[in-house]
Amino acid sequence: MRQVTVTEHLLLHQKESPMATGRFTSLLNELILSAKIISREVNKAGLVDVLGLTGEINVQGEAVRKLDEYANSVLIHRMQRAGVLCAIGSEENADLVEIPDHLPKGDYILIFDPLDGSTNIDANVNVGTIFSILKRKEKSECSARLCEVLQKGAEQVAAGYFLYGTSTMMVYTTGRGVHGFTLDPSVGEFLLSHPDIKTPEKGKIYSVNEGYWHYWDEATREVVDYFKNPALNGRGKPYSQRYIGSLVADFHRNLLYGGIFLYPADMQDPKKPKGKLRLMCEASPLAFICREAGGASSDGERDILDIEPSELHERVPLFIGSKKDVAMVEEIYRKHK
């Protein structure tokens, strides 16, 4: 059987889409190479000294793991030299990472979470890299300013993730469907394994850290209860609870099987009044993928893709997955307003 590599797929796409220029393809190719390097290192975890903490605390106030730092530095080093970017935003860096003056620049802006779910990594749980690609509106030769980067998710030109799991996968969209590729280590290529992914309209899984129940308001408790209650949820039996604690892995499973991922605002927790997840490097890219697969996303009120960020590391409550499930969450919050 003839297998399509991600590069072939990108080139095919490039012909169909006026947006996808050769520069865009080289951006994605550089990202793919970075992910292969990260994947190689993640696969050695336990064999070489890459597990554990660096001793640093990042901009999010979280302890930095050695693999977080490794993934972040691989991405920054390679992507700064890709010649197509005017700014980089990483979950691990407080400010935008500029493209040094002596390096060529382009119109694209790349935002990423280098290693999502990394608190689980010492236990060999799946982690991933999430990315969002935006385009600068005005032509310029210098690095982009923050105000040019703060664009809502609906303006993304592409988004995706690499999942370092039982196999390494890449899932991406440029607004023309969602496609999944699996890394074949014997040839070192991502091969098309999941063409045109569509998520079920109504799911059977809910994914939430229910340990925070006592931090939630009444509306949030009612939302979670809806999925558990056979008399309410339209299934006649409870949704199954699945929570890995690694957003990219939880999202990927629900995308394929149907379901909803929830990270609500923890009203009683002064540290998480807007939940934990970041709008620009986590929520928006997954929201773009989800919409392209026929799903939806919300902060409880608004479509995630319509939220204008006011800062790079803005946090947002996140409800994402099957369309009917997300609509029900919004309906319950509306009722409580």
Residue ranges that bind ligand AHM, judged by CB under 6 A: 62, 91, 113, 116-119, 209, 245-247, 276
State the Cα–Cα distance between residues 101 and 103, nearest whole angstrom: 6
What six digits make up the tokens of 314? 């803005």
Is 276 known to sit in a ligand binding site?
yes
State the Cα–Cα distance between residues 172 and 317, nearest whole angstrom: 23
DSSP alpha helix (H) spans, the chain: 6-16, 22-42, 66-80, 146-149, 218-228, 247-257, 284-292, 323-335
Among Mg ion, ligand AHM, none, what binds residue 246 when CB lies within 5 to 8 Å by partner kind? ligand AHM
Q: How far is the CB of 132 from Mg ion (least distance, A)?
A: 12
Is 116 known to sit in a ligand binding site?
yes
Is 209 known to sit in a ligand binding site?
yes
Among ligand AHM, Mg ion, none, what binds residue 105 when CB lies within 5 to 8 Å by partner kind? none
- Per CB under 5 A, the list member of 113, 148, 250, 325 interacting with Mg ion is 113
Among ligand AHM, Mg ion, none, what binds residue 325 when CB lies within 5 to 8 Å by partner kind? none
- Per CB under 5 A, the list member of 116, 266, 299, 330 interacting with Mg ion is 116
Q: How far is the CB of 277 from ligand AHM (least distance, A)?
A: 6
| Cα 195-322-251 angle, rounded to 5 deg | 65
Among ligand AHM, Mg ion, none, what binds residue 119 when CB lies within 5 to 8 Å by partner kind? ligand AHM
Q: Point out the residue whose Cβ comes nearest to Mg ion.
A: 116
Of 99 and 265, the one with the shorter C-beta distance to Mg ion is 265
Concatenated DSSP letters of 258-320: --EEEE---TT-TT-BTBS-BIIIIIHHHHHHHHHTT-EEESSSSBGGGPPPSSTT-B--EEE
Is 333 known to sit in a ligand binding site?
no
250: contact with Mg ion by CB under 5 A: no
Closest by alpha carbon to 104, among 80, 87, 132, 88? Answer: 80
The 10 Å Cβ neighbour count of residue 197 is: 19
Binding residue positions? 91, 113, 115-116, 209, 243, 276, 282
Q: In the complex, which residues of this chain contact Mg ion (CB under 5 A)?
A: 113, 116
- Return binding residues for substrate: 209, 243, 276
